[in-house]
Amino acid sequence: MNLGKRETLLNDSSMIVTETNEKGIITFASEDFCKIAEYSQEELVGQPHNLIRHDFMPKKAFKDLWSTVKSGNIWHGIVINKTKDDGYYWTKALVFPSQNSDGSKKFISVRVKPSQKDIDMATALYKTL
């Protein structure tokens, strides 16, 4: 299984935060997100969040994520993303729906370093999907 050139490991203190609109377009990207994904704010904001989707990540998982948050619920799981330089990184993600001041929907994702056990379990599961 070739995941990419190299793995970027999150620090215990890393916290990746993004906001998207209801179409999945990035409206905010935290400094940690930019650093880990190897993109600038200008390169990320206005782009679809799937810009960083890794091919190993099953489409079924993202289908579940979107149906969960669009129905008003919180989604959590282990996600592998790709970096700009064809590397990859694993995250433990929590995605939840919210609203802008004008009432429009937005989705906030907070991601932290997963345990090796979480990564191993996700890897085994994703190979079956």
Averaged pLDDT for residues 101-114: 96
* Element housing 41 (H / E): helix 41-44
Asked if residue 48 is part of any domain, the answer here is: yes
How much is the pLDDT for 90?
96
Q: Based on the structure, what is the number of domains in the chain? A: 1
How much is the pLDDT for 127?
86
Q: Residue 2's pLDDT band (boundaries 50, 70, 90)?
A: low
> Within 10 A of 31 (CB to CB), how many other CB atoms are there?
11
Q: What percent of the chain has pLDDT over 90?
A: 84
Yes or no: say if 57 and 126 are a contact pair by the CB < 8 Å rule: yes
pTM of the shown model: 0.90
Asked if residue 45 is part of any domain, the answer here is: yes
Domain extent for 111: 16-128
Q: pLDDT of 20-48, one tens digit each?
A: 999 999 999 999 999 999 999 999 999 99
Buried b / exposed e along 64-89 (16+ C-beta atoms within 10 A): ebeebbeeeeebebbbbbbbeeebbb
Q: pLDDT of 85-95, one tens digit each?
A: 989 999 999 99
Asked if residue 47 is part of any domain, the answer here is: yes
Picking from 44, 38, 42, the residue whose alpha carbon sits closest to that of residue 25 is: 44
Asked if residue 103 is part of any domain, the answer here is: yes
How much is the pLDDT for 62?
87
CA distance 14 to 112: 6
Given a cut of 90, whether residue 1 has pLDDT beyond it is no
Asked if residue 8 is part of any domain, the answer here is: no
Asked if residue 1 is part of any domain, the answer here is: no
* CATH code (residue 20): 3.30.450.20
